A and B are shown apart, each in its own frame.
Chain A
Amino acid sequence: MRLEAREQTPAWLPWIAIISSSLATLIFAAVLIIVAGASPIEGFYELFRGAFGSKNSIAETGATATPLIFTGLAAAVAFRARFWNIGAEGQLYIGALATTFFGTGLIQFAPFIMIPFLFLMGFIFGALALLPLVLLRQYLKVDEVVTTLLMNFVIILLVSYLLEGPWKDPYSLGWPQAAPIVDSGVLPQIIPRTRLHLGFAIAVSIAIVIWYVQTKTLFGFSTRAVGFNPSAAKHSGISVTKTMIGVAILSGGIAGLAGVSETAGLKGYLTLDLSPGFGYTGIAVAMLGNLHPIGVIFSAMFIAVIYVGADAMSRAIEVPTYLADVIVASTILTVLVSLVLIKYRIIFKGKF
């Protein structure tokens, strides 16, 4: 058995691959639900009801998807250029720190200025958090996987210090949390009395902007060229370093936006549990979306559905919530396999 590269991929193949990998995941999940002692049909029904069954559950799914769209885009933009930014988690917290710094009373504008201002600050500081690491990579060949990953821990410890110390809200009854964002900086709700806020709309718009940049502009073109073959890009007069710096600014900045959106949209103040690993899940979102910005919207929605739905399912039919993680993980595996099969065909002949 061996793999052979396909010369041309038929247009219908990716769709078949997506459908069959979803089917494979569903079958796998069904087996696990049976092992957990419940009926898979009832389980899936509860899962989809939990994610789409009411206005509230739809809003909840959207709210969960919001940070994942941001971090998924951050990863997708960087990975396109083969820049392995594993640090979206840290850049998210930097964005949240910027929001807290500027948004808790230091400056006050009317909401229509204050909200864009907070997003801009989140972007700038998120980008600044990644900038030195890309310079280290380009000029001193320091591996960015190591630096971006380790920087996550440094940043989270910094957040922890600030929340336990100088930035601790005196009215928080001893909890390590920062002062609340001023009213003019809080993101309005899209559906009233739910947790779905403006951040979702911004995330989707950013994805569309990124899609435009990647397909229609010089920067997007250079990014792809540098990602596929930096040496050929360099020999054609494209500056690899400049492109990489641009990529890092975009990637770090978008991850920073996730922090703004979560702090000013969902919670209203910064805590240490602001992100339950959105930065890392964003990598999975990006992979699942095939590094395509519009794909990222769908894959973030999909993962949100699984998380929100599996939560509801576990309460309704008493299976462990961990099933959500297993389903997400197995989806990623099946999708990655299907991506390989889109590019290659299997030949069942000859020796193994």
Chain B
Amino acid sequence: MKALLNVENISKSFGKLNANKNITFNVATGEILAILGENGAGKTTLMNIIFGHYLADKGTIKFNNNELKPGDPKAAISAGIGMVHQHFTLAENLTVLENTLVGTQSLYHPNLTKRKSIDKLNYLAREFGLELDPKQLVRNLSVGEKQRIEILKTLFSDCKLLILDEPTASLTPQEVTTLFTSIRKMVTNGVSVIIISHKLNEILEISDRIVVLRSGAVVGEVKTKNADKTQLGEMIVGHKINRPNRGKNVIGETKIKLCSISVKSDNGTSILDKVTLEARGGEIIGIAGVAGNGQKVLAETMSGHVTPAFGTIYINGKNLTGKYPEDFMRSGVAYIPEDRNLDGTIGDMSIWENVILSETKNTKIFQKNGILNRINSHNLAHAVCQNNDVRYQSIQQPARLLSGGNIQKLLIGRWLIRKPNVIIACQPSRGLDEGAISTVHKTLLSERKKSTAIILISEDLDELLLLSDKILVLYNGKLSETIENRNVNINQLGLKMAGEGF
């Protein structure tokens, strides 16, 4: 087969970090190539170089045997490369059609082409199974539909190579199936596809060939039909993967109870609708669901940051409805927020200051009259880092220099000082490397052993199935009934995540 894209010896470093090291591979016409690797392996950097967002330090990219002008997304687009980013770049207040036209046509183009554009859009949508109403406002669409626009946009500008960055990250299993059907249709029409992912199963299902990246370098390349799952997994991580075992647990008393909680947004729409939930000591309750169905508000309600419009919350049997986050903390609630850099830690403060951030009521740290005890603070910081395997050079270094995994371990370790009764963990392993994920999982399981109630909110079904005792699905602010982990049927769960039965 003729090579459409040749990537030759691409290297790129950010400061001391070598994000890409001498990467070479090619994509043939009509081929689906998967770039597999864990977070931080350099997948997205590589794609951004191909697309011209970043300038490589070294190496060349040839498209159709012509060298692509480096560092120029326009050159990439006009050559026929389209990219769908993990985080969409759509204007929410414009229609599907308008979003397609933005950037694909000259800004000063007279309006005459609108009719023609609608026809072309409808044709493409039908041809590739990406049905959408061109006049619909983007803000009313689901995540899956928004992704379709992004794909349509690239097809609209006659793309020959489509790059999809973690396309299934926030889709339901059913949406993934639809997406894959569309991808197959594109390939039969002569479009090549690069799909970036860290999800093994999906890659094995859709791709023709797999390139594995680890720490910025290509560590392997296999034809998918010859690929072996465990072997691939080890190739990604560099060593054997040890999944922790859940083990037996002793169920204790009810630690957190939500009774018919409703939360409304500023404009009156319902974010949480009569949510009832209970977690007992030694239990991990998994909350499944596609992002944006009320997960963050649910977590913030359970930690006192959001006051519900209706309903009551009990922590350890005490009614804390309408109380402040400080009161929830005092009752033993620990909240590990989804965005650990924005809500969890302060990058510009040192590691030890981040450790004592939630210890402002601790009289060993802030003695009477609020005087800071530096020695105790430093000792505490050392202890937290050691107990939770945080890798650091000095506790004086700013937290922003820590990797995502170490930040998360620091954040969790900080909460464990307080010996929590309830842990609310939001996407605790998102964006972490395997090593950190396994530490986080082990920590949660050991807390479960200590009879802590844990609410695990995650989009990652594998994680939920691995850790949770019971699983509920959150859809559009409503919770499904409780399903025991051993009775879970993935297909059913997927249908629920897509809103069936709500």
Q: Do A and B bind each other?
A: yes
In the complex, whether A55 has a CB less than 8 A from a CB of chain B is no
In the complex, whether A167 has a CB less than 8 A from a CB of chain B is no
B55 lies within 8 A of A237 (CB): no
In the complex, whether B347 has a CB less than 8 A from a CB of chain A is yes
Question: Which residues of the partner chain A approach B347 to less than 8 Å between Cβ atoms?
Answer: 228-229
The smallest C-beta distance from A126 to any residue of chain B, in angstroms, reads 23
In angstroms, Cα B337 to Cα A8, docked, is 28
In the complex, whether A231 has a CB less than 8 A from a CB of chain B is yes
B344 lies within 8 A of A218 (CB): no
Given contacts A228-B348, A237-B329, contact A217 B337 (CB under 8 A): no
Question: Which residues of the partner chain B approach A102 to less than 8 Å between Cβ atoms?
Answer: none
Question: Which residues of the partner chain A approach B366 to less than 8 Å between Cβ atoms?
Answer: 217-218, 221
Question: Which residues of the partner chain B approach A267 to less than 8 Å between Cβ atoms?
Answer: none
Question: Which residues of the partner chain A approach B370 to less than 8 Å between Cβ atoms?
Answer: 217-219
Among A180-234, those with CB < 8 Å from B are 215-219, 221-222, 224-225, 228-229, 231-234
In the complex, whether B395 has a CB less than 8 A from a CB of chain A is no
Question: Which residues of the partner chain A approach B324 to less than 8 Å between Cβ atoms?
Answer: 239
**Which among B16, B55, B343, B346 is the interface contact of A225 at CB below 8 angstroms?**
B346
In the complex, whether B224 has a CB less than 8 A from a CB of chain A is no
A236 lies within 8 A of B349 (CB): no
- The closest CB in chain B to the CB of A345 belongs to B15
B55 lies within 8 A of A217 (CB): no
Among B324-371, those with CB < 8 Å from A are 324-326, 329, 335, 337, 342-349, 353, 356-358, 360-361, 366, 369-371
**Which among B326, B342, B397 is the interface contact of A231 at CB below 8 angstroms?**
B342
A222 lies within 8 A of B337 (CB): no
Question: Which residues of the partner chain A approach B55 to less than 8 Å between Cβ atoms?
Answer: 350-351
Question: Which residues of the partner chain B approach A7 to less than 8 Å between Cβ atoms?
Answer: 15-16, 401
In angstroms, Cα B99 to Cα A214, docked, is 49
The smallest C-beta distance from B428 to any residue of chain A, in angstroms, reads 14
A228 lies within 8 A of B401 (CB): no
**Which among A215, A219, A224, A237 is the interface contact of B358 at CB below 8 angstroms?**
A237
In angstroms, Cα B347 to Cα A21, docked, is 28
- The closest CB in chain B to the CB of A222 belongs to B360
B371 lies within 8 A of A235 (CB): no
In the complex, whether A113 has a CB less than 8 A from a CB of chain B is no
B305 lies within 8 A of A234 (CB): yes
Question: Which residues of the partner chain B approach A217 to less than 8 Å between Cβ atoms?
Answer: 366, 369-372
In the complex, whether B71 has a CB less than 8 A from a CB of chain A is yes
Kindly name the residue among B337, B342, B349, B360 whose own CB sees the greatest number of chain A CB atoms within 10 A.
Answer: B360
The smallest C-beta distance from A68 to any residue of chain B, in angstroms, reads 28
The smallest C-beta distance from A133 to any residue of chain B, in angstroms, reads 23
- The closest CB in chain A to the CB of B300 belongs to A235
Given contacts A216-B371, A225-B346, A237-B361, contact A351 B71 (CB under 8 A): yes
**12 more A-B residue pairs beyond the given contacts A224-B349, A232-B344, with a C-beta to C-beta distance below 8 A:** A7-B15, A216-B372, A218-B372, A219-B370, A228-B347, A229-B346, A232-B343, A235-B303, A235-B335, A237-B358, A237-B361, A350-B55
Chain A residues at the B interface, C-beta cutoff of 8 Å = 4-5, 7-8, 215-219, 221-222, 224-225, 228-229, 231-239, 350-351
Q: What are 24 of the A-B contact pairs (CB < 8 Å)?
A: A4-B15, A7-B15, A7-B401, A8-B397, A215-B372, A216-B371, A217-B366, A217-B372, A218-B371, A221-B353, A221-B360, A224-B349, A224-B353, A225-B346, A228-B349, A229-B348, A231-B343, A234-B305, A235-B303, A235-B337, A235-B343, A236-B358, A239-B324, A351-B55
